[in-house]
Amino acid sequence: MRIYLFAAVAAATTAAPALAAENGAYVGVEGGAMFTQQHKMDVTLDNGTQFNNGYRIKDKTGLDVDFIAGYKLGLLRLEAEGGYKRSTLKNLRVSQPLLTAVSTAAGVPVTADKFNLDGHVGITSLMVNALADSNFGHSRFGGYVGGGVGSAWANFSGENDNALAVQGIAGVRAAVTDHIDAGVKYRYFHTGKLTVDNDFAVNGTSFTTRATDNFNSHSVLASLTYNFGSPAPRVAEVETTVVAVPDVAPPQLASQTCPDGSVIAATAACAAPPPPPPAATQSGERG
């Protein structure tokens, strides 16, 4: 008879890597492209005349980078973020009423080139973010959505101002190792009113304009995060192997043959022979 032995002979760890975004502290860096919305700035001349949308400024594609440090607890992530955004001016349009006012005061025709608004826009920000973070029931991928609030410091053509800032965030991530995540992040960034003063001269006449507007941008960022928390334990899948054992003949035991012809074990005793039958009794004769 063939006997099969089922034994666990190997433990193969075939599950995907544990998701790196475990509970605990983390740090990360992010960077990518920034797309600013057109700046429609309300302008006030030094004589007090106001012009709605006096400046319309369009920027080139810019750069957005930041550093984050936070803590994850279940579905909630709280983090601090320090960021910097920068873009350069692509073109400037000045409203016709503003051009007319400056031309009249200067006594000569004026174009947008005279307004001296060239250079770059730089935004430095410090934000506090709250994010809902989930693994979506997967052992490797996850995503998050949330927002933040903080302060922004702007530099525009050498002029500085600061305002309250808010942002909306959404992103996805994948575990690269047990502690490192790589991902893609979208950010919408919005500030309160920022004010920029601009001084210039036309035909010997000096002018000062004060322009105000919100800064709005959309960014697409690549992210890399290091998690200090312990990774989730890996799940091991046990592989079973069937081992075939060849037929083995049972061992032959020593035996003996008894006087009556029966074969028994050598250690057993033969049965005692039956007693002989009694002798027959003979009858006598009478004479």
Is it the case that residue 223 has pLDDT exceeding 70? yes
Q: What is the pLDDT of residue 3?
A: 42
Is it the case that residue 285 has pLDDT exceeding 60? no
In terms of residue numbers, what domain contains 52?
A: 9-227
Residue 75 located in a structural domain: yes
Residue 115 neighbours by CB distance under 10 Å:
23
Residue 265 located in a structural domain: no
Residue 51 located in a structural domain: yes
Write down the residue that tokens 């250079």 correspond to: 119
- Residue 204 tokens read as 């010997």
* CA atoms of 200 and 115, how far apart (whole Å): 6
Residue 262 located in a structural domain: no
For residue 59, what is the domain's CATH number? 2.40.160.20
Residue 151 located in a structural domain: yes
Name residue 226's beta-bridge partners: 27, 180
Residue 40 located in a structural domain: yes
- Residue 205 tokens read as 């006449």
Strands 180-191 and 216-227, how do they pair?
A: antiparallel
Residue 235 located in a structural domain: no
Check: pTM over 0.85? Answer yes or no: no
* CA atoms of 58 and 42, how far apart (whole Å): 15
Q: Which amino acid is at 46?
A: D
Q: Where are the alpha helices (DSSP H) in the chain?
A: 96-106
* Helix (H) / strand (E) containing 211: strand 205-213
Specify the number of domains making up the chain: 1
Average pLDDT rounded to a whole number, residues 78-102 = 93
* CA atoms of 271 and 175, how far apart (whole Å): 82
Nearest to 21 by CA among 79, 76, 78, 72: 72
Residue 254 located in a structural domain: no
Looking at per-residue pLDDT, the higher value among 118 and 168 belongs to 168
Q: What is the pLDDT of residue 16?
A: 42
Name residue 31's beta-bridge partners: 65, 222
Look at 94-108, 110-124, 236-250 and tell me which has the smallest mean pLDDT.
236-250
* CA atoms of 268 and 210, how far apart (whole Å): 122
